Structure 1
Amino acid sequence: MPDAAASDAVPSKTQNRFIAALRDAAFVGLITAGLSFPLIALRAEADMNNHLELQQRWSWLVSATIAMAASRFIASIFDRLVARIVGVTGVWLILFAGGTAYYATDTHPGVIAGCVLAGLIAIGLAAALNRSSVDAGRTETRPAEPSRFYRLDTSGGSLAGNLISIAALGCAIAFPLVVLAWLGPQGSLKWINNYGVQILIYVMLGWGLNIVVGLAGLLDLGYVAFYAVGCYAYALLATKFGLSFWLCLPLAGVLAAFWGILLGFPVLRLRGDYLAIVTLAFGEIINIVLTNWVDLTNGDAGIPSIPRITFFGLPFTAADDGFAARFGIEFSPIHRNIFLFYLILALALLTNFVTLRLRRLPIGRAWEALREDEIACRSLGINTTSTKLTAFALGAMFGGFAGAFFAVRQGFVNPNSFTFSESASILAMVVLGGMGSQIGVALAAAVMIGGTELLRELDFLKVLFGAAFDPSQYRMLIFGFGMVAMMIWKPRGLVSTRSPSIFLKQRKAIAGALVKEGHG
């Protein structure tokens, strides 16, 4: 009889979940329609007489609403993250086939049929993955024996995590060499610069801000100010005093840390939204100072002719004393870009190493305590003043390092590179990746920076949707929809679990829902 009762309860549970999934899908569809109405459904264009005409594109609005609602329905049905990703991919393939058949009537039927078949296979695979994961999770596990003592996490992490880290590091090291061998010196220049170096700059900035926001819980909306301080510190020291990059790099970090401490003192008593407003004002003040202090920064005209980086004194030129001549190889401009890639990779790895080591020290545990509850942190005898100042100073120092690298890479800087949108982008990487998660921030930076750059080059969409369709015009709209969808499906970020620095007997992952965000 108990087995029969349990079997009768399964259909009702499944039915309730199906109804809840439909409810969530309808709610997401309504939100999508409301947000997309002024952006997609209506568009003002000028006619031959330069008079604005309001064009109505209701089919685009319906397509966007159906796509988001269907994706949300599939995501609500499945339990596991991998099954959700595969299932949503299948839904988008089917919807892409339908949109192609509707908008591009000259598309080959085989392309449409192939997308539909691939979508159905993906949904079936997602169902199989979800079923196997749920069945595997039902096996009973023996609870761990209790312990009276807490232990610090001095291990290097799980075996799977270490293997993933080693594989990711190997791919990063081999990236410029593989691209160079595949595309040659001319074709690989864009990939190494726009994808490799640019992504690693934002990975380093995201890891630096993760100390302030993810670990200490201090919501900082003006992090780009420290980026600007490091950038202008190197530009001014190199152009006015002739100092080399290797000498200016630590000086830029020290100056940025000094400004981080200056910011930390006025905000010691602020928390939450008030802290965010003050840090936002600090970032705007730095930008205004860089713009109006013309005698020092040259204003909007910027600082040109910044000395380029050398290989420890060997310039990347075709001269006899250059890098190529010294090592007996043929000169190519790609040598400098490859060296810049490995340099920013080393700086990013240094940021990651220092952050992980600090998390296991008392100061790292003090940051986490401050993030969870400042009042309880103070009652335990932790000096919240020094805790906040060290978080601001260390996060600003790594931002200063990245700024110095940005200046030597560009050879020209001006205040337009350090606006609020940059701070918002860096903060979005920390939030989307998962606050406090190093690997999550790196993944978010790769997706945000690499994805927006990749949307510039999707020329094959012009074949499907017509020559008038330019994906670069809609890349920020697509990117915005992706961020909204990410916050709906994974509100705690790509990596929603946290690895504790202290544990009881057995090391366990902590759900992201149990970690406060921005409450320090």
Structure 2
Amino acid sequence: MNFRDNKLATFLIAGALLLIAPLIAQQFGNAWVRIIDIALLYVLLALGLNIVVGYAGLLDLGYVAFYAVGAYMLGLLASPHLSQTFPGFAATFPNGLHAPLWLVIPLGALLAAAFGVALGAPTLKLRGDYLAIVTLGFGEIIRVFLTNLDAPVNITNGPKGLSQIDSFKVLGYDFGKTHNLFGLEIPSVTGYYYLFLALVIVSVVICYRLEQSRIGRAWMAIREDEVAAKAMGINTRNMKLLAFGMGATFGGVSGVLFASFQGFVSPESFSLNESVMIVAMVVLGGIGHIPGVIIGALLLAALPEVLRYVASPLQQMTDGRLDSAILRQLLIALAMIAIMLSRPRGLWPVPEHGRMRPGSPDQDPEPKGTLS
């Protein structure tokens, strides 16, 4: 059996495991399937941020804003809020505007991309910490707007959020309901798992194609040395805008999926902590390396839920003097510090990233080539 056959067998085994994973997890309760669903959403977010941070080298701390844009777009298009608030809208759409899946996902991607370009345009000359501060402010501005756009015209319903958001329906299959398929019970969380998994696979393919394309190589050249990239004829302005826009599309699609999955959105779901967590997933897994980013997202998405079972016994040992939620955050921070101390380049870093001068320990004895 040659290498190609081994690779094909690996993909087939991995595919089979991914297909049966929710069926096994639901035997222990739908809560475990829900954790996997949320982890897949974080994978989508981390893949999108990896385009901005990993490929183009632009530190974005406001990425959660695009997540919020996609979620609220679906909340407005697939909930009774607009019909209940605006009589003119109710007269035109008496039953509400129930946008289908094939419309809201591309629309969410386009809307988030527009916001990404709007963020990137004023920050083209900023780098490093300055860019991080500006993007952080952009994310907070979006959250504050969502919180306060309930007066004088109630658009977002303010801190109360939007509820009664429609679940997705594909060819008559309602992801919000439990179905029976060949004698197997497929609850809502399991149905959404397969939808999320399909979109994650599509996103991974897109990211790999971008990485190997001329655009991807241009982004990496900007990441390594923007002045040299510009001297080589790369239009750094357009490439940066494209990175912001392309990365934002993943956030918009993730927000659409999140809103449909939850059936409710509020500004509290899009705080600064979410942005920091997504950045941590990319850094922890390995900046610029798709498999590493996926591992980092899965690990940090599942770690808080796993540590929930560790924090409770520790709280009991202290007679309840420690808050379990705070203790759980402390354990997450300690775990991240331990991982980054032992693996400073991430759990699975890109092979070409971080090489040093000839003879250094981090360099391969026989370099495999250069970036063309």
Normalised to the residue count of structure 2, the TM-score between the two structures is: 0.82
RMSD over equivalenced CA pairs, Å: 2.8
CA gap 1:166/1:471 in 2 versus in 1, 3 angstroms: farther
Q: 2:158 aligns with which of 299, 310, 327?
A: 299
CA gap 1:495/1:462 in 2 versus in 1, 3 angstroms: closer
Deviation for aligned residue 1:472: 5.3
CA gap 1:420/1:162 in 2 versus in 1, 3 angstroms: farther
Equivalent residues of 1:302, 1:412 under 8 A apart: yes
Q: Which residue of 1 aligns with 2:284?
A: 432
Determine the C-alpha separation between the residues in 2 that align with 1:369 and 1:414.
39
Q: 1:224 aligns with which of 39, 45, 64?
A: 64
CA gap 1:510/1:444 in 2 versus in 1, 3 angstroms: farther
CA gap 1:277/1:316 in 2 versus in 1, 3 angstroms: closer
Amino acid at match of 1:174: I
Offset from partner CA, 1:34-79 (integer Å, 9 cap, x none): xxxxxxxxxxxxxxxxxxxxxxxxxxxxxxxxxxxxxxxxxxxxxx
Alignment of 1:453-468 (within 5 A): 453-458=305-310, 461=313, 465=317
Q: 2:45 aligns with which of 184, 188, 205?
A: 205
CA gap 1:289/1:283 in 2 versus in 1, 3 angstroms: same
Deviation for aligned residue 1:168: 4.0
Q: 2:236 aligns with which of 374, 384, 401?
A: 384
CA gap 1:165/1:481 in 2 versus in 1, 3 angstroms: farther
Q: Which residue of 2 aligns with 1:495?
A: 348
**Secondary structure in 2 matching 1:191:** helix
Deviation for aligned residue 1:495: 1.2
Determine the C-alpha separation between the residues in 2 that align with 1:202 and 1:175.
18
Equivalent residues of 1:209, 1:427 under 8 A apart: yes
Q: Does 1:315 align with 2:174?
A: yes
Identity %: 42
Determine the C-alpha separation between the residues in 1 that align with 2:176 and 2:334.
45
Deviation for aligned residue 1:459: 8.2
Alignment of 1:139-154 (within 5 A): none
Alignment of 1:338-417 (within 5 A): 338-417=190-269
Q: Which residue of 1 aligns with 2:357?
A: none
Offset from partner CA, 1:390-416 (integer Å, 9 cap, x none): 111111001100000000000000101
Normalised to the residue count of structure 1, the TM-score between the two structures is: 0.60
Q: Which residue of 2 aligns with 1:190?
A: 31
Deviation for aligned residue 1:310: 2.1
Q: Which residue of 1 aligns with 2:104?
A: 248
Q: Which residue of 2 aligns with 1:482?
A: 335
How many residues of Structure 1 are paired with residues of Structure 2 in the alignment? 335
Relative contact order, CA 8 A, sep 6+: which one is greater? Answer: 2
Q: Which residue of 1 aligns with 2:77?
A: 237
Deviation for aligned residue 1:246: 2.9
Determine the C-alpha separation between the residues in 1 that align with 2:319 and 2:21.
33
Alignment of 1:91-106 (within 5 A): none
Deviation for aligned residue 1:271: 1.0
Determine the C-alpha separation between the residues in 1 that align with 2:182 and 2:65.
42
Deviation for aligned residue 1:311: 3.6
CA gap 1:427/1:323 in 2 versus in 1, 3 angstroms: same
